[in-house]
C-alpha cells in the first residue's frame, strides 16, 4: 500500500503541471551573477556514442549551450569517462585523447561561446568574458597505465582531476561497486600516484572508490581532495558509492568538498530499491536485453524519481554535519540516463536549486559557496601546492 501510494505521488510529481516552477528574480540573478561550477557532466562520452552539436540547442541529452546559458552554468567539468572494461581490453589512452579532442572541438566550433579552462583564473576570465569554461576531469584513472609520464601527458592536455577508479577495481584503486577488494584500498602505484598528483596540480577525486581507498587517499594527500559527484549514504543505506557521515567528516578535516550527485538513485532510497527490484525481476525472467526489459518494467512500475527537496536534504545534511564550506554540485548530467529528479532535469534548472536553497534560509553568501566558492577554493589550494613543489 505504501509503495503504491509513493509511486502514485511520484507519477503526479513527474507530470507537466508539477514541472511548472518559477524561480524568483533573486534566484535567477544569483545563478546568473555567480560562477556555477558543476563537478561532473558526461558530455564527451555522450557525444562519442551519438554526436550532436551542443554549441546549439539539441534534441537529446541534458546539456547544450542555450540550456546552459538559461541555467547560469559557467564551468561544467567535462568528464573524460573511461569504462571500467578498458582496464583489461581496449586502448584507454586512445579513448581518453579522443574525448579530450571532442571537448577542444566544441570550443573550436564556437570560440565565442566556450573556452578551455586549465586554471581557476581561466574559469574566472571566461566568466568575465561571458563564455562557458570547459575544464576537464578524467573519470577512471585506467589510461595512466601505471605511468607518471601518462599522468603528465593528461595534465598537459588539460585534465585537472582524476577519479581514481570507476565501477571495477583498476591498477590504482578498489571500487565501491566491486565486491572484490583487490588492493584493500589503493594499490602501491595508487599510493604513489596521490603524491604525484599533488605535485603536478591534479585534484584527487574519491567518487567511486571503496571506503578503504577513500581513507588512504585522504591520509596521503597533502591538499584537499574532492568527491566530484557523490551523495550521502545517510539517505541510501548500504549504497557504498555514496559517502557516510564519518567519511564526510574526514573529507571536511582534509579541507575537501563533496559535490552532490543529482541522480535519483544517488538521492533517494526509494529509487535505489526500485533499481534492485527491477534487476531481480529481470534475472527471474531470464531477460538479457536490459533496455527492452526496463521499458516494459517501467510501464507497470513507474520510476520513483527523486525531487528537488530530496537533493536539498543532502545539502542540508552536509551543512549540519560539517558546515557550509564543504558542499558543491556534481550533477552527473548526461551520465545517469533518465533518472534525474523532478525540477532538476537538465542544465537549465540550476535556478530551481538556488530557489530551493533560498527557501530553506541559505544566505546568498552560502549559496555562492555551494555553487562554486568551495570548489574553487580547493582548486586554488591544489594549484598553490603544485606551484611550490
Taking only the tens place, the pLDDT of each residue in 361-388 is 999 999 999 999 999 999 999 999 999 9
Mean pLDDT score, 15-25: 68
Residue 20's pLDDT band (cuts 50, 70, 90): low
Summarised one tens digit per residue, pLDDT across range 65-75 is 999 999 999 99
Spell out where the chain has E strands: 37-41, 75-81, 114-116, 132-134, 136-139, 159-163, 203-205, 226-227, 257-260, 327-329
Q: Which long-range contacts (CB under 8 A, 24 or more apart) does 123-127 make?
A: 123/35, 123/37, 123/74, 123/75, 123/376, 124/35, 126/74, 126/75, 127/35, 127/74, 127/75
- Is pLDDT above 80 for 2? no
pLDDT at 196 over 60: yes
E strands, 106-235, are 114-116, 132-134, 136-139, 159-163, 203-205, 226-227
Asked if the structure places residue 179 within a domain, the reply is: yes
Neighbours of 58 (CB within 10 A): 18
Report if residue 105 sits inside a domain.
yes
Compute the C-alpha angle 385/388/389, nearest 5°. Answer: 85
pLDDT in tens, 306-343: 999 999 999 999 999 999 999 999 999 999 999 999 99
- Give the count of alpha carbons within 13 A of 107, CB side only: 16
- The residue range of the domain holding 40 is 24-268+305-387
Q: Rounded to an integer, what distance in angstroms lies between the CA atom of residue 33 and that of residue 22?
A: 18
Give tens-digit pLDDT for 215-232. Answer: 999 999 999 999 999 999
Q: Is 11 inside any structural domain?
A: no
Residue with cell string 556514442: 49
261 within 8 A of 231, measured Cβ to Cβ: yes
Question: How far apart, in whole angstroms, are the C-alpha atoms of residue 266 and residue 242?
Answer: 7
Non-local CB neighbours of 338 within 8 Å, separated by 6+ positions? 303
- Taking the C-alpha atoms of residue 175 and residue 300, their distance in angstroms, rounded to an integer, is 33
Q: Counting beta carbons within 10 angstroms of the beta carbon of residue 378, is it exposed (0 to 12), middle (13 to 18) or buried (19 or more)?
A: buried
Number of domains in the chain: 1
Confidence class for position 9, pLDDT limits 50, 70, 90: very low
The reply to whether 255 falls in a domain is yes
The alpha-carbon radius of gyration of the chain (Å, integer) is 20
Could you tell me the sign of the dihedral formed by the alpha carbons of 170, 329, 334, 263, in that order?
Answer: positive
Classify residue 3: in a domain, yes or no: no
- Asked, for residue 298, whether it belongs to a domain, the answer is no
How would residue 21 be classed by pLDDT, with cut points 50, 70 and 90?
confident
Tell me the average pLDDT across 151-158.
98
3-state secondary structure of 257: strand
C-alpha cell at 54: 551542443
% of residues, the chain, pLDDT over 70: 95
On the question of pLDDT at 3 being above 50, the answer is: no
Q: Are 114 and 131 in contact (CB under 8 A)?
A: yes
The answer to whether residue 365 sits within a structural domain is: yes
Cβ pair 304, 6 in contact under 8 A: yes
pLDDT digits (tens, 9 = 90+) for 23-34: 999 999 999 999
What is the rounded average pLDDT of the residues 35-48?
98
| Residue 11 scores a pLDDT above 80 | no
Residue 283 bridge partners (DSSP): none
Give the C-alpha separation, 291 to 66, whole Å: 30
**What's the pLDDT at 327?**
98
Is residue 10 a part of any domain in this protein? no
pLDDT of residue 294: 85
Top-confidence residue, 9 or 174: 174
pLDDT on residue 291: 83
Q: Collapse the DSSP code of 146 into the 3-class scheme (helix H, G, I; strand E, B; otherwise coil) and give the result.
A: coil
Q: Report the CATH number that the domain containing residue 48 is assigned in CATH.
A: 3.20.20.140
Taking residues 99-111, what's their average pLDDT? Answer: 98
Distance CA 195, CA 221 (A): 6
Tell me the three cell numbers of residue 47: 557525444
The band of 5, judged by pLDDT with boundaries at 50, 70 and 90, is very low
pLDDT of residue 287: 83
Q: What angle do CA 261, 302, 315 make, to 5 degrees?
A: 20
Q: Which residue bears the cell 530557489?
A: 355
| pLDDT tens sequence across 131-142 | 999 999 999 999
For the residues of 35-102, what is the DSSP string, one character each? --EEEEE-HHHHHHHS---TTS--SSSS--HHHHHHHT--EEEEEEE--GGGGTSS-HHHHHHHHHHH
User: Percent of the chain having pLDDT more than 90?
Assistant: 89
SS3 389: coil
What pLDDT shows up at residue 290? 82
- The mean predicted confidence, pLDDT, of the chain is 94
342-367 pLDDT, tens digit each: 999 999 999 999 999 999 999 999 99
Amino acid at each position: 500500500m505504501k509503495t503504491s501510494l509513493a509511486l502514485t505521488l511520484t507519477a503526479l510529481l513527474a507530470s507537466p503541471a508539477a514541472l511548472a516552477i518559477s524561480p524568483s528574480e533573486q534566484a535567477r540573478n544569483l545563478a546568473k551573477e555567480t560562477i556555477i561550477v558543476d563537478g561532473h557532466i558526461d558530455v564527451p562520452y555522450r557525444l562519442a556514442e551519438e554526436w550532436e552539436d551542443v554549441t546549439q540547442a539539441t534534441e537529446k541529452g541534458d546539456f547544450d549551450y542555450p540550456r546552459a546559458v538559461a541555467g547560469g552554468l559557467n564551468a561544467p567539468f567535462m568528464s573524460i569517462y573511461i569504462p571500467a572494461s578498458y582496464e583489461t581490453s581496449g586502448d584507454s589512452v586512445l579513448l581518453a585523447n579522443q574525448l579530450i579532442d571532442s571537448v577542444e572541438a566544441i570550443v573550436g566550433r564556437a570560440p565565442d561561446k566556450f573556452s578551455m579552462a586549465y586554471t581557476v583564473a581561466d574559469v574566472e576570465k571566461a566568466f568575465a568574458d561571458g563564455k562557458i569554461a570547459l575544464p576537464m576531469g578524467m573519470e577512471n584513472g585506467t589510461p595512466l597505465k601505471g605511468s607518471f609520464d601518462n599522468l603528465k601527458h593528461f595534465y598537459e592536455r588539460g585534465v585537472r582531476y582524476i577519479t581514481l577508479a570507476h565501477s571495477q577495481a583498476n591498477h590504482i584503486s578498489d571500487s565501491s561497486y566491486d565486491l572484490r577488494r583487490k588492493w584493500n584500498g589503493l594499490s602501491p602505484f595508487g599510493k604513489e600516484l596521490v603524491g604525484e598528483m599533488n605535485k603536478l596540480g591534479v585534484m584527487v577525486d574519491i567518487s567511486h572508490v571503496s571506503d578503504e581507498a577513500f581513507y588512504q587517499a585522504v591520509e596521503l594527500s597533502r591538499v584537499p581532495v574532492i568527491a566530484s559527484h557523490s551523495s550521502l549514504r545517510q539517505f541510501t543505506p548500504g549504497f557504498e558509492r555514496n559517502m557516510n557521515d564519518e567519511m564526510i567528516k574526514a573529507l571536511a578535516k582534509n579541507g575537501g568538498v563533496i559535490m552532490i550527485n543529482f541522480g535519483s538513485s544517488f538521492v533517494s532510497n526509494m529509487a535505489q530499491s526500485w533499481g534492485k527490484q527491477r534487476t531481480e525481476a529481470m534475472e527471474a525472467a531470464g531477460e538479457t536485453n536490459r533496455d527492452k526489459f526496463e521499458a516494459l518494467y517501467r510501464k507497470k512500475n513507474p520510476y520513483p524519481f527523486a525531487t528537488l527537496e530530496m537533493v536539498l536534504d543532502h545539502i542540508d545534511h552536509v551543512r549540519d554535519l560539517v558546515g557550509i564550506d564543504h558542499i558543491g554540485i556534481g550533477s552527473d548530467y548526461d551520465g545517469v540516463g533518465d533518472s534525474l529528479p523532478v525540477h532538476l532535469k537538465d542544465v537549465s534548472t540550476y535556478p530551481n536549486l538556488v530557489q530551493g536553497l533560498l527557501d530553506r534560509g541559505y544566505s546568498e553568501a552560502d549559496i555562492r559557496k555551494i555553487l562554486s566558492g568551495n570548489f574553487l577554493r580547493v582548486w586554488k589550494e591544489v594549484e598553490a601546492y603544485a606551484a611550490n613543489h
